[in-house]
Amino acid sequence: MSKSLVLAGKEFRSYFSSWLAYIFIALFVAAALVSFFFLAGFFADGRAELRGYFSWLPLTLAILVPGLTMRQWAKENEMGSIELLMTLPAHTRDLVLGKFLGTMGFVAVALLFTLGIPITVEILGDLDWGPVVGGYAAALLLGGAYVAIGLYVSSWFHDQFPALLVGWLLCGLLAAVGHETVLGWCEALPAFVSRTFAFVGFWDRFRAIERGVLDLRDVAYYLSVTGLFLYLNVARIRTKRWTA
């Protein structure tokens, strides 16, 4: 575990050594402000709550997180430094976990930059902080699933752009199939289709958690998706290690 933490620290610091970190944070905060104050109609609604902000997070994170993960393995493959990583005295799971924790640390920092939104709402009205805490916990769970998916996708490519596109596709698909609009379109289809979409989709589960309803089945689902794609990532890198 100590090797994973060392690698995580290296990956976390590497984000801030380039313009990518600052662009990501700026875009994330801008998207949060626009979605909450304009798209969700906070001023028109007049209620001191953040459901409008959290309701857009599944889509926002699905778009932005693959931009972080696209470089993790694809850049290593592109530059040939993957061979150097393979020679490190660390287990494959340490390499994967290090990249995952480093990226998650950055996602957590980006979420911290949006704390000005609930603070502003608290100043304007009497904010219930229970759903806010639940919403940020749900955002971390959701972000973890997206990061794990993006890392696995990145491990298949030597070019960052295809990794970004496929990451967008998978994360966006898992977000979209659980949205109430998509589920409404499925009403004309056999019932098992809508039930399957509701089960695998991220959106509906996220909305339940951010409302403050901490259903352990939803938490277990996000953790299971994260664990599954991290396992697949380990298997993929281990295969590359054997064939190197």
Rg of the chain on CA atoms, in Å: 19
Q: Which of 154, 145, 148, 7 shows the shortest CA–CA distance to 88?
A: 7
Q: Report mean pLDDT in 10-residue bins for the chain, 244 residues.
A: 81 84 88 74 58 80 89 72 63 88 94 88 78 86 95 90 92 82 71 75 75 77 94 87 59
Tokens at residue 241, please?
């290690």
Output the pLDDT for position 43: 52
Enclosing domain of residue 162 = 2-243
**Structural domain total, the chain:** 1
Tokens at residue 155, please?
């491990």
C-alpha span between 154 and 78 (Å, rounded): 11
Q: Please enumerate in sequence order all residues whose Cβ is within 8 A of that of 242, keeping only pairs 6 or more positions apart, or say none.
A: none
Output the pLDDT for position 40: 57
* DSSP per-residue string spanning 149-199: HHHHHHTT-SSHHHHHHHHHHHHHHHHHTTSHHHHHHGGGS-HHHHHHHHH
- pTM beyond cutoff 0.75: yes
Output the pLDDT for position 6: 84
